[in-house]
Amino acid sequence: LLRVAKCPVQVCRFLSPRGSVLIETVRGRKSRNDPKAKSKQDRVKVPPPIDPVEMVVLKERYTQYQMIMRALRVEFKEQIMRRRYEEEVGSRAEERTKHEAEEHRALMAWNDAENLRLRQLREIRVQKEVEELAMKREEAIGLQEEKRRKILKEKEQEILQLQEDVKTFITLENLDQRIEEALDNPKNYNFAIDKEGRIVKRTAIP
Amino acid sequence: MPMKGRFPIRRTLEYLQKGDVVFKNFVKIMTVNYNTHGELSEGARKFVFFKIPQIQYKNPWVQILMFKNMTPSPFLKFYLDDGEQVLVDVEGKNHNEITQHINKIVGKTQEVLQAEALAAMVTSNPANFGHRKYCLRECLCEVEGQVPCPGIVPLPKEMTGKYRNQMKAGQE
């Protein structure tokens, strides 16, 4: 058996009369073109019998009841709308917005103060870095200059040394003299050394 | 299945729900400018890595943007409803300090949050039955310990109206 009530079927609102129960238009077990059942072919659908006296009384009571219910509903809706209106555009709302705006301004001021403080710290830091950079550059220049000076000095030293060495050079004029000197003073390059490391330069002449 | 990423705890619901920065209604866009290298951007980087997921979870309607290596110093900028822009300098700060700072400036206070929670509780009563959109349950058959839905499990014969009417008709 198909449980009609539990079927997830779209509820057809515009077929049901206003104010009454919502009828779910469900086709049930049969589709549109299925014929009537044999046992129901001669069935004449008769509406339920109505008692006119009872109907009159019922109608009056219904009108009163529906009037009261409608009035209650409208009252409640009005209450809710009034509450919402007061919340958004009421005296309290204005105070609240003013209060919030003031708080906002105060917080923004505090934020600006923080930013200022950090900005000053940053400026100091940046200045220090710039100074350090300048100092480093100066140091580098100084070192370079010192290097240059050292090189110059060394070069000068070499030149002086060379000038002194020139005196001991053998030239064409000195040649004969130097040869005579060399032959006169034989130099002995031999030496002896023992295990303790004592050097002996005076050895036997070959 | 192992968790993905470097600090996968950032993706857990528990971690996200622990976030405590809820922006006020007039904050629409948040922009974070930071650098990927450098000692001064360290706090901003940690903030972006750890705190942004929590903030976005708590404020799903706020657009959060991240810009890397565009400026020498890191900062946050909030773009408000009325066109106002709030600049927050973040150089050299700890990520906790940054969170506290923005919570103070543009975050809802604890009292406001509690008041909102109370209002939400008042409107939605958990004892109501109705449409899924507004209430927790639709029918009593969904509650544990109650008679199950006769659409799924047929009722015992003695509880059906048909059987009872038959019995009554039989007796009379």
How far A147 CA lies from chain B's nearest CA (Å)? 35
Query: What is the mean predicted confidence (pLDDT) over A107-114?
Result: 95
Per-residue pLDDT of A118-159, as tens digits, reads 999 999 999 999 999 999 999 999 999 999 999 999 999 999
Q: Tell me: pLDDT of A34 over 80.
A: yes
Considering the domain boundaries, does residue A113 fall inside one? yes
Per CB-CB distance under 8 Å, the chain B contacts of A114 are 88-89, 101
Considering the domain boundaries, does residue A25 fall inside one? no
**pLDDT of res. A186:** 85
Considering the domain boundaries, does residue A128 fall inside one? yes
Could you tell me the pLDDT band of residue A206, with boundaries at 50, 70 and 90? Answer: low
Q: Which residue has the tokens 């050895």?
A: A203
Average pLDDT, chain A: 87
What is the extent of the structural domain holding A113? Answer: 90-181
User: Which of A6, A110, A119 faces B151 most closely, judged by CB atoms?
Assistant: A6
Q: Which residue has the tokens 């290097």?
A: A147
Query: What is the mean predicted confidence (pLDDT) over A191-201?
Result: 89
Predicted-complex ipTM score: 0.77
**pLDDT of res. A3:** 46
Per-residue pLDDT of A150-186, as tens digits, reads 999 999 999 999 999 988 888 898 899 999 999 998 8
Q: Tell me: pLDDT of A10 over 60.
A: no
**pLDDT of res. A4:** 47
Domain boundaries B8-109, corresponding CATH code: 3.40.30.10
Considering the domain boundaries, does residue A95 fall inside one? yes
Per-residue pLDDT of B79-127, as tens digits, reads 999 999 999 999 989 999 999 999 999 999 999 999 999 988 888 888 9
Q: Which residue has the tokens 């040649």?
A: A175
Could you tell me the pLDDT band of residue A88, with boundaries at 50, 70 and 90? Answer: confident
Phi, psi of B78 (to 5 degrees): -110, 130
**Dihedral (CA of B134, B140, B143, B149) sign:** negative
Considering the domain boundaries, does residue A125 fall inside one? yes
Considering the domain boundaries, does residue A3 fall inside one? no
User: Which of B86, B106, B151 faces A3 most closely, judged by CB atoms?
Assistant: B151
Which residues 6+ apart lie within 8 Å of B78 measured at CB? B27, B29, B30, B31, B85, B86, B88, B102, B105, B106
Q: Are B21 and B103 in contact (CB under 8 A)?
A: yes
Query: What is the mean predicted confidence (pLDDT) over A99-104?
Result: 94
Of residues A21 and B153, more confidently modeled: B153
The count of structural domains within chain A is: 1
**pLDDT of res. A134:** 97
**pLDDT of res. A5:** 47
Considering the domain boundaries, does residue A66 fall inside one? no
Tally A–B CB contacts below 8 A: 30
Give the chain A residue nearest B76 (alpha carbons): A115
Q: Which residue has the tokens 């700890």?
A: B94
Query: What is the mean predicted confidence (pLDDT) over B46-61?
Result: 96
**Interface mutation target, options B39, B86, B89, B111, chain A, most CBs of A under 10 Å:** B89
CA pair distance B27, A162, nearest whole angstrom: 84
**pLDDT of res. A61:** 98
- Helix (H) / strand (E) containing B165: helix B161-171
Could you tell me the pLDDT band of residue A24, with boundaries at 50, 70 and 90? Answer: low
Q: Are B24 and A100 in contact (CB under 8 A)?
A: no
User: Which of A3, A6, A119 faces B89 most closely, judged by CB atoms?
Assistant: A119
Which residues 6+ apart lie within 8 Å of A27 measured at CB? none
**pLDDT of res. A33:** 92
How far B11 CA lies from chain A's nearest CA (Å)? 31
**What is the pTM (predicted TM-score) of this model?**
0.65
Spell out the domain ranges in chain B. Answer: 8-109, 127-171
Per CB-CB distance under 8 Å, the chain A contacts of B89 are 114-115, 118-119
**pLDDT of res. A22:** 59
A11-15, A108-112, A200-204: least confident range: A11-15
Per-residue pLDDT of B59-72, as tens digits, reads 999 999 999 999 99
Query: What is the mean predicted confidence (pLDDT) over A102-112?
Result: 95
CB atoms within 10 A of CB B93: 21
Query: What is the mean predicted confidence (pLDDT) over A36-40?
Result: 91
User: Which of B73, B86, B91 faces A111 most closely, judged by CB atoms?
Assistant: B86
Considering the domain boundaries, does residue A42 fall inside one? no
